[in-house]
Amino acid sequence: MELKPVIGLEIHCQLLTKTKLFCSCPTDYVGREPNTIVCPVCLGLPGSLPVLNKEALKLALRAALALNCTILKKTRFHRKNYFYPDLPKAYQISQYDIPLAVNGYLVIDGKRIRIRRVHMEEDAGKLVHPTKTGRLEGAEYSLVDFNRCGVPLIEIVTEPDISSPEEARNFVMELRSLVQHLGVSDGNMEEGSLRCDANISISVDGKFGTKTEIKNMNSFKAIERALAYEINRHMEVILSGGEVIQETRHWDDSKGITTSLRGKEEAHDYRYFPEPDLLPLFISDEMVSEISKTMPELPWDRRNRWKMDFGLGDYEVFVLSSSKVLGDFFDACVREIGKPKEVSNWIQVELLRIVDDLRLKIEDCYFAIPYLKEVLELLEKGVINNQVAKAVFEESIRERRAPIDIVKSKGLEQVSDEEALKDAVKRVLEENEDAVKSYLSGKDKAFNFLLGQVMKVTKGKANPAVVRKVLEEELKALS
Amino acid sequence: MELCDMPAWKLKEMISKGEIGPEDVLDSVFNRIDAVEGTLNSYITLLRDSSYAQAKEVKRRLKEGESLPLGGIPIAIKDIICTKGIETTCASKILKGFRPPYDATVVARVKRAGGIIVGKTNLDEFAMGSSTENSAFGPTRNPWNPETVPGGSSGGSAAAVAAGEAILALGSDTGGSVRQPAAFCGIVGLKPTYGLVSRYGLIAYASSLDQIGPMTKDVKDCALLLQVIAGKDDKDSTSIKLNLPNYLEACEVKDLKGIKIGLPRECVSESIDRSVARVIEEAKRVFEKLGAKVVEISLPHIEYALPTYYIIAPAEASSNLARYDGVQYGLRLKAGSLREMYLETRTNGFGEEVKRRIMIGTYVLSAGYYDAFYLKALKVRRLVKEDFDEAFKEVDYILTPTSPTPAFKIGEKIDDPILMYLSDVFTVPVNLAGICAISINGGFSDDGLPIGIQIIGRAFDEYGVLGVASAFEAETECHSRRPYRR
Ligand SMILES: [Zn+2]
């Protein structure tokens, strides 16, 4: 029996428009006082009517084109009817039978993951539960914040072409990078501007199995963990001779399990029908070609450029393109400093760690570009050694101080003078007779120990190459 | 003649000549209201104080030389059209206390034109009904005979205009709700082409069918009010941009030479009241006298219009009315859970007819029934429209009765929804096709009740329809009769 996971994803991205999908309220709801960016339209007040935001349409088209989709010439909106307090009209304006775009694909590690459709819809509001945990349990009442209501979304639905949790995670990462590069969405999973649901089933000897839908995966890690858990669960059910039940399941990140949310029988009947308040939408060839012409550099083009022009490797470009701000920062550094390979290395090994430690954002680190430039120059000129350079770079960012100042005020210049280092070497040899003996008896390992001791004695400032030379000479003299 | 029984265009002339002021017209209207409103119940909300304040403002604007098409004319607004800060109920308990924070586009246009809003008129709850009996605020009565209904759903507006409780009124027409009450009350009612008048602020019943229309004492007033409310509105995506003709000019038509009017054979058969058939026969002769050629035509799918309407309209209504859930505004009944709160609020907040249509609509959109009902209805709707397209290749206008009977007795049909629905059999096809039609008074029944005739025109040919109606009016006397005129 051959068991294979079959995964399809549904991803919602908030579009980076200034105003909502069907009214002129602003979209920047994060951190706002509840219900302060609302109007009769997004509150669904009786008598109000939607008017489509053309900017949202353009962004959606840009995403669809970048996903290699076919744009449908005539599309329309539907109403998706259901009751919930965060949905003030009791229907969501969405798309149903004729989405904006169909039949696209995104390449992940050389494999095409097909995109079934891309469509536009409006976001709902948010319920606020006045409990300590912010959860519904134990709340005496709930409040509704409609600020998010009507924020434009695109939903991207894949074919069930994904075959592992890792691939699913990589797909979402690549998609996030794409929408960021396009300026279509900020793709922030924590703040919910990128949300991912998954459909998963196990094919047995090539035959499709029953699928379950997983909701509430709020990070890349959660996607990978939830899918791995769910695959396991399906496999166990199948291998023990049971049957998977078609249902929607909720990922509990803290417990690391999925739990049943609702069964097939409880599935909503959304009673979709064409939205009579909006006319069918005709997408002209001119509009499409206009958008194609103004397409920014896409992540895969960028990665190619980095490989071809800078000679970077697969892994490096993968890391650098994982978010647009990081790629932008790298490009800015190279423009300023040159030396793409070194810069890439310093960003990936040092800067990302420093940024993490200091809780900074990459986009706020442009001030550090001259610092990096200076550190690399100091290193090249042999003024400081590699170890000192790393420490100085970190300190320069933390203190917002030029590296050269730090080097001078702390006297961190590298010591390359053989005579000066000879004293230090001699002292180390005197104090470490055992190590000297073991080196002389043929144990080469002891050499590195002695070298380390010299560096320590010189407070890391010694030029390691010079130390090595002097140390070799002195040991030879002893043998 | 008292001022309140005069048409707006006449009052405008008198105001501009300085013979009377806007307050005089208001005095007359409110005197009439005081006299008859206890019987008629045309209004849900009266705005006496604010009316006089508005009149003062209009006088100032007129003095400053502003040209105001409705300067100082009292107008009643159907209580399904949003008025800023003024309770807008849709004659439903569920909207109790709802004060819209905005004016409907038509209301804003009326105010800009110097119209004075005297009150919000009664209707069938959410415009669902043909008699204005389905109101949480009690039925409205027909000023011609208080034992009979004024028609519906814009019965309050029709009664108010007929009785001189307002000079002009706005109604909304989804399946005949402007024309049928206009017919029952002996006034003029126009259902504009879908897209001519903005629906922004009209509380939706069936969005693909709803249009706001003028309800007036004569055709000229109808043209006057249409001119004010018609035209593209950026807030309504379904409103159409076009160069508006001067509708008042249409009222100067004196003869109908070269005009071809179709009389559908489907509309002069069976279930029509004898007096209605007589009025149609007389109207035919009037049109011929005016030089028009009246020919028999066929609208083969018209018999399916009513059942089609009663699928599409409830389907849209079930979605449009889902927002009345007790969360944000209006009625909210306490309950132990969200689901119970929904159930309690909606069960108690809506009347029987509204609940009936919500259930029909929910059913026809449900998985497994959508294709058999809703989708099929959309197809028939297209056939009905094509019937009209075909007919308009042959003729310029189509003449039908507005309703198969004159006003019926209060309570007569309230327990028989199908019988009630039949009252709109001639008006519904026009909404399905999205074209325009006017109802004007064509005569009276033996009991002295007015009988309306409907003139249907091509899409956006309001100008032509007003012209034909105007010529008819000029040739006949019946429109000038008023129930309370002394
Ligand atoms: Zn808004």
Provide the ipTM: 0.96
Q: What is the domain count for chain B?
A: 3
Do B371 and B326 share a structural domain?
yes
Provide the pLDDT for residue A441.
83
Q: Provide the pLDDT for residue A456.
A: 86
Q: Does B448 lie in the same domain as B341?
A: no
DSSP string, A279-324: --EE--HHHHHHHHHT----HHHHHHHHHHHH---HHHHHHHTSSH
From the list A47, A50, A272, the residue facing B104 with the nearest CB is A47
Same domain, B322 and B363: yes
B76–chain A Cβ distance below 8 A for any pair: no
**Could you say which of B51, B157, B172, B177 is catalytic?**
B177
**Whether the Cβ atoms of residue A39 and residue A23 lie closer than 8 Å to each other:** yes
Q: Is residue B214 part of a domain?
A: yes
Q: Tell me, what DSSP letter sits at residue A392?
A: H
**B17 counts as catalytic:** no
Domain identity same for B297 and B406: no
Judge whether B233 lies within some domain: yes
CATH of the domain at B430: 3.90.1300.10
**Which residue does chain A place closest to B234, by CA atoms?**
A51
Do B107 and B233 lie in a common domain? yes
pLDDT at B173: 98
B78 is a catalytic site residue:
yes
Nearest residue of chain B to residue A46 (CA atoms): B203
Q: Are β-strands B293-297 and B260-264 bridged in parallel, bridged antiparallel, or unpaired?
A: parallel
Kindly determine whether residue B237 and residue A52, on different chains, have CB atoms separated by under 8 Å.
yes
Query: Which stretch of DSSP H or E encloses residue A114?
Result: strand A111-122
Q: Where are the alpha helices (H) located in A214-298, listed in sequence order? A: 220-239, 285-293
- pLDDT number for residue A246: 95
pLDDT at B133: 98
Interface of A with B (CB under 8 A): 40, 43-52, 79, 81, 83, 85, 88-91, 144, 269, 271-273, 276-279
Rounded Cα–Cα distance for residues B111 and B105 (Å): 10
Q: Are B239 and B195 in contact (CB under 8 A)?
A: yes
What pLDDT band is residue A305 in, cutting at 50, 70 and 90? very high
Asked which of B368, B393, B418 is the last residue of a domain, the reply is: B393
Residues B272 and B175 in one domain: no
User: Computed from CA positions of residues A135, A137, A138, A142, in that sequence, does the dihedral angle turn out positive or negative?
Assistant: positive
Q: Are B367 and B141 in contact (CB under 8 A)?
A: no
Which among A46, A90, A277 is the nearest to B325, CB-wise? Answer: A90
Nearest beta carbon to residue A47 from set B202, B322, B365: B202
Q: Do B328 and A49 touch (CB under 8 A)?
A: no
Instruction: Please indicate, yes or no, whether residues B388 and B264 belong to a single structural domain of this protein.
Output: yes
CB B80 within 8 A of CB B58: no
Last residue of one domain, picked from the residues B393, B427, B452: B393
* pLDDT, tens only, B174-191: 999 999 999 999 999 999
Calculate what percentage of chain B has a pLDDT beyond 70. Answer: 99
Of the candidates B178, B207, B420, B422, which has an alpha carbon nearest to the alpha carbon of residue B312? B207
Convert the pLDDT of each residue in B417-436 to its tens digit: 988 999 999 999 999 999 99
Q: Note whether B336 and B291 are same-domain residues.
A: no
Structure tokens at A211: 């699928």
For the CA atoms of A79, B352, A40, B50, the dihedral, rounded to the nearest 10 degrees, stands at: 160
B485: in domain? no
If we measure between CA atoms, which residue out of B433, B483, B448 comes closest to residue B208? B433
The DSSP secondary-structure symbol of A349 reads: I
Structural tokens at position B32: 């009439």
Please determine, for residue A135, whether its predicted confidence score (pLDDT) is greater than 80. Answer: no
Residue B359: name the closest of B377, B338, B371, B373 by CA.
B373
Task: Tell me which residue range forms the domain holding B223.
Answer: 3-253+401-480
Distance between CA atoms of B360 and A315, rounded to whole angstroms?
60
List B400's β-bridge partners, or say none.
B454
- Model pLDDT for residues A364-416, shown as the tens digit of each residue: 999 999 999 999 999 998 888 888 899 999 999 999 999 999 988 888 888 88
Tell whether B56 and B175 lie within a shared domain: yes
Which of A273, A275, A279 is the best mutation test for B, with the most CBs of B within 10 A? Answer: A273
* Inside any domain, residue B486: no
Cβ proximity of B329 and B98 under 8 Å: yes
Both B104 and B41 in one domain: the answer is yes
**What would the pLDDT profile of B64-111 be if each residue is shown by its tens digit?**
999 999 999 999 999 999 999 999 999 999 999 999 999 999 999 999
DSSP symbols for B380-441: HHHHHHHHHHHHHHH-SEEEEESSSSSPPBTTSSTT-HHHHHGGGTTTHHHHHHT-EEEEEE
Tell me, yes or no, whether B446 lies in a domain: yes
pLDDT for position B485: 64
Q: How many CB pairs under 8 A join A and B?
A: 98
Find residue A203's DSSP bridge partners: A4
B91 and B26 in a single domain? The answer is yes
Both B384 and B342 in one domain: the answer is no
The predicted model scores a pTM of 0.91
Domain extents in chain A: 3-289, 299-410, 418-478
CATH of A418-478, one of 3.30.300.30, 3.40.366.10, 1.10.10.410, 1.10.340.70: 1.10.10.410
How would you write the pLDDT of chain B (486 residues) with one tens digit per residue?
A: 899 999 999 999 999 999 999 999 999 999 999 999 999 999 999 999 999 999 999 999 999 999 999 999 999 999 999 999 999 999 999 999 999 999 999 999 999 999 999 999 999 999 999 999 999 999 999 999 999 999 999 999 999 999 999 999 999 999 999 999 999 999 999 999 999 999 999 999 999 999 999 999 999 999 999 999 999 999 999 999 999 999 999 999 889 999 999 999 988 776 799 999 999 999 999 999 999 999 999 999 999 999 999 999 999 999 999 999 999 999 999 999 999 999 999 999 999 999 999 999 999 999 999 999 999 999 999 999 999 999 999 999 999 999 999 999 999 999 999 889 999 999 999 999 999 999 999 999 999 999 999 999 999 999 999 999 999 999 999 888 889 864
Judged by CB atoms closer than 8 Å, whether chains meet at A271 and B365 is answered as yes
> Cβ contacts (< 8 Å) between B95 and chain A: which residues?
46
Number of H helices, E strands in chain A: 16, 16
Asked whether residue A213 carries a pLDDT value surpassing 80, the answer given is yes
Helices (H) and strands (E) in chain B, counts: 16, 11
